[in-house]
Structure 1
Amino acid sequence: MPPSVLRDRKRERTRRALLEAAAELFETRGYDETTVADIAAAADVGTRTFFNYFGSKEELLFPESDDRVRAAVAAIASRRPGERPVEVVLRALRAAGDNPGEHLIDDLSPRIAALRAEVSRTVPSVSGRAAHAQLVTQREIARQLHVAFPAELDEVGAAALVGAVVGAVSGALTVLFQQPLVGVEDGERLHRLMHEATSRVLQPWLSPHRVEAVG
């Protein structure tokens, strides 16, 4: 096996170990009470190694933001014949949330998403990071949506549509995460509930036969 492949696999194992250690510590000890040194020790690496992968503790909750944007843009580019703009937006947002880079397309992704939503409500520094990440993603989705539907949406209309959809989804998920029956430990169930919530909220905007198709 080429040395480059072995290095990539080792980096991926270390990256995942750091994410898993952080998720475990955030859940059991709390975000504020967990330090970078704690996470590195739990992953059996040094603090310097941690910073080779993540620039800060907040960055652990927002992995591969560029990949999320690319996933959303790809969803818009692959729009289906007759698909309405709102349907494309929903698919784009789901692509951004479900495909945060090759590193997390597995059982860890919903767990990190749940932690991000929980910590973003309670820790100001993370709230700011979450708001910025969401704004960057919204702007790019709106820009691409205008390009995809120039006859239907100008730049303002595209931004308004994306903002309305994101607001509706964010509101639904805020209530969802406040319910005691939803916990970060059951990633698969949480992922399903998130999809159900977004589909329910957006159902009035979607064609009946397409609600399931965008899931």
Structure 2
Amino acid sequence: MAGLRELKKRRTRDQLVAAAVTLIRAQGFDKTTAAQIAEAAELSPRTFFLHFATKEDVLLANAAERTAVGVAAIADARPGATVGATLLDAVRRMIGHNDSTDAADGLAALRAELIATVPAVRARVAEHALTAQDELTAALCAGHGDDLDPVEAAARVGAVVGAVNAAMLAALRLGRSPAEQRDAMLRAAELAIDPEGTSRAR
């Protein structure tokens, strides 16, 4: 039963996201309301607010799940893996998650456009990014114990997350294809971890 409930929840959320993308594309973010999104998805406003606190949060529909993918990857790192290798694997899995969710349904492209033009969206995305970095940093510290200073862990995670996000936004704004966006994000992660390209991960 739990599996069926989760599937229904996912389908409902996907309906709301699809409706939001269509409406915001058609009439703009500011003119789109939560009630309109719910109506377009053939759902009630109450259902909308069961899934999202605000319409800004629709743009981050898969963000918490993507962070969880990264945290799980860090926790599952092979014994003896370096910090760089652990981070790179986590980022690869998170990018794979993005490929199958936000990039596939147009949410990533829309979010990038709105970050540049809508202060409320930019603030909400930045808030989530900080939360995600904290969770990834905590996971990295837990996995590497005394071998990694918490400040260094935060710096490493921040560098990688910042590089990946910057590459994604640049690729989207340049009209690059989803495959090119993915390559840009992966390359950005590699550069952040190993700027000189002397190894795949340190």
Q: TM-score range by the shorter chain?
A: 0.7 to 0.9
| Number of equivalences | 198
Show the counterpart of 1:93: 91
Cα 1:87–1:31 shift into 2, 3 Å: farther
Structure 1 residues 83, 27: CA separation in 2 closer, same or farther (over 3 Å shift)?
A: farther
The match for 2:186 is 199
Please list, as runs of the form range in 1=range in 2, the aligned pairs for 1:43-122 lying within 5 A after superposition: 43-81=41-79, 83-99=81-97, 105-106=100-101, 111-122=106-117
With over 3 angstroms needed to count, the CA separation of the structure-2 counterparts of 1:7 and 1:194, relative to structure 1, is: same
Q: Which amino acid aligns with 1:196?
A: D
For 2:155, give the aligned amino acid.
A
State the one-letter code of the partner of 2:33.
Answer: T
Identity fraction in percent: 37
Structure 2 residue matching 1:34: 3-state secondary structure: coil
Q: Which amino acid letter does the alignment assign opposite residue 106 of structure 2? A: R
- Alignment correspondent of 2:164: 169
Tell me how large the CA RMSD over aligned residues is: 2.9
Q: Which of 125, 129, 150 is residue 124 of structure 2 equivalent to?
A: 129
Structure 1 49/178 Cα, relative in aligned 2: closer, same or farther at 3 Å?
Answer: same
Moved over 6 A (4+): none
Q: Which of residues 24, 34, 37 is equivalent to 2:32?
A: 34
Normalized against structure 2, the TM-score is what? Answer: 0.80
Q: Which runs of 5+ in 1 are unaligned?
A: 183-188
Paired residue secondary structure (2:130): helix
More deviation, 15-24/45-54: 45-54
Report the secondary structure of 1:149's partner residue.
helix
Post-superposition shift, 1:79?
Answer: 1.5
CA gap of 1:193–1:140, structure 2 versus 1, over 3 A, is: same
CA deviations on 1:177-209 (whole Å, 9 max, x unpaired) are 221x34xxxxxx42x222211232344445778
- 8 A Cα contact 2:69 2:93, kept in partner: yes
The 8 Å contact of residues 98 and 109 in structure 1, kept in 2 or not, is answered as no
Q: CA deviation at 1:134?
A: 0.6
Alpha carbons of structure 1 residues 109 and 59: separation in structure 2 relative to 1, 3 Å: farther
Q: Alpha carbons of 1:106 and 1:163: their partners in 2 closer, same or farther (altered >3 Å)?
A: closer
| Distance (whole Å) between structure 2 residues aligned to residue 168 and residue 107 of structure 1 | 18
Q: Output the TM-score relative to the length of structure 1.
A: 0.76
How far, CA to CA, are the matches of 2:4 and 2:83 in structure 1? 43
Q: Does 1:157 align with 2:144?
A: no
| Matched letter for residue 60 of structure 2 | F
- In 1, distance between residues paired with 2:41 and 2:200? 43
Which amino acid in 2 is paired with 1:36?
Answer: A
Q: Closer, same or farther in 2 for the Cα pair 1:47/1:80, shift >3 Å?
A: same
Q: In structure 2, what is the Cα distance between the partners aligned to 1:158 and 1:10?
A: 38
In structure 2, stretches of 5+ residues that fail to align are none
State the alpha-carbon separation in 1 of the partners of residues 127 and 4 from structure 2.
35
CA shift for structure 1 position 57: 0.5
Q: Which AA in structure 1 matches 2:185?
A: T
